[in-house]
Each structure stands twice: as C-alpha cells, then as structure tokens.
Amino acid sequence: MTAPEPFGARLRRAMDGRGPLCVGIDPHPELLAAWQLTDDADGLARFADTVVAALADRVAVLKPQSAFFERHGSRGVAVLERVVADARSAGALVLVDAKRGDIGSTVAAYAGAYFGPAAPLRCDAVTLSPYLGYESLRPALDAARADGAGAFVLARTSNPEGAETQTAVTASGLPLAQRVLRQLAEENAGAVPLGSFGAVVGATLGDAALELSVNGPLLAPGLGAQGATAADLPRVFGDAVGQVLPSVSRGLLRRGPGVDALRAAAAEEIEALAGVLR
C-alpha cells in the first residue's frame, strides 16, 4: 500500500502554485449580520458555502473556525462536515481551527474526528494546543502523519494574553514558545521540501526573539482586523519568512457577500504577500 503524500509537500506545492494565503471561514455573528444573513444554521450554511464557492479553487488553504459552527449545535457541525468536504473537493487544503489539546485517550478521540478514511471531519490539518505538554499531543500527531495530514501547534500567538504562558521559562531554561518550536523542529527533521507539523506564530508580535527554524510551516494569524500587514512579516519572521502561511479572516470576509468581491480581495492579499514572502 502506497503511503499518502505528506501534508508538508502538498502545502508547499499549494503555496507555490496558488500563493501563500490562508483564509479563515469565521461565521462571526457580526459578519452574518453584515451579509444580511440570519444568525442560525441556515445563515451559517449560506455564509460558508459562499466562501467555499468563491475561494476553494484559488487559495492555498481554507481555515474554518470550528467554534463558530459548534455554537449552532448539531446542525452547525453538520454544516462544518459538508464545508470541509466541499472545500477539499474543490482543491483547497483545509485546516480546521479547533485548537484541541488534552491527554492520551482524549486526544486520540479528537484525532479520530479529523484524520483517517472514516473521520467525519477528515481534513488536511488541525490546530492543536500543547499546554498539557507537547507529548500529550502524540496520538494526534501520529494519526495525522499516518493520514498524510498535518497540524499547527500553538507557539506564540497573536492575542496579548498569550504572553502570560507562552513566554514563561520552562525547566529546560527556554521560554515555553521556544521549547514548542524546538520540539516541532525535531518532529520535522529530514522532511523535504517542508515538514508537516507547523507552529502558530502571530504576525502582530514584532520582534519576538524566537528561533523559528522548524523546517515546517508557520501559520501567521493577525493580518487585517488585528492590525498586521504583509510588510510586517519579514521583520517578525526573519530568515523563516519563506515558510510563513499568513492567515486573514474578517478583514477579507467583510468584502462579501459577493463572490467576485471575495475573489478580488483574495487576489489583492496574495499579490501583497507574494512580494514580501518570495
């Protein structure tokens, strides 16, 4: 049986071919209202379906935020299942932004939702939280690798509150964020052209004084509504800027609900990013 192509290789090809952009699918109540949609599962479905129709055939990654689907109960989760499948079928890589993190059997259960042929939310990658210890994520990391999928592990996030834990010094003498980055580098050792296990590092951080060479992708939230711009990325990421996958959500989605307007907004983002990330 042939092993699946690793997520890192597929992501590198998508970023090179379509441009380095991840677009969040964040059906926030204020966006539903701005699109004149109802704040229920029907409005959610119309919103998400529009984003998929507009962008799944032209951006590298779509990133549905699980919480905005879960808040609508079982009908919302059903929409998420369909959106993940439809976006992948249309050619986008799908990163489910769920930030899962727990221990042992619980992490294995989460992994069963996202990875493997029988997974109801089978996706290309998921976000994970390492704050019960990096190795607590092992069942999810192993399941992702076996499925040719990947993960993005929280390291130094864009929210100001994150510094409270992420800059704390561990027993190894390293800040927690740097320790996570080193563990990801070990996870990706020897991978070509790009490892499948990335870090989440906010684009709003300025000089975070971190060693970012993880041989894997760096998901960079914070563009648009949170204030970061494409011009900030070389300063934040330095020599690792070629591995950055910038993420934009509300700043782009506010250009909807027209499909043409969303496509134009994505094209503008890709053009702005291409010059600084090349």
Residues that are catalytic: 99
User: Sign of the CA dihedral 8, 217, 157, 40?
Assistant: negative
How many other CB atoms are found less than 10 A from the CB of residue 249? 22
Report residue 126: phi and psi, to 5°.
-140, 155
Q: What is the DSSP string of 230-270?
A: GGGHHHHHGGGGGGEEEEE-HHHHTT-S-HHHHHHHHHHHH
Half-sphere exposure of 276 (CA within 13 A, CB side): 19
First to last CA, the chain: 37
Cα 44 off chain centre by: 20
Report whether 100 contacts 140 (CB < 8 A).
Answer: yes
Report whether 79 contacts 44 (CB < 8 A).
Answer: yes
Beta bridge partners of 220: 246
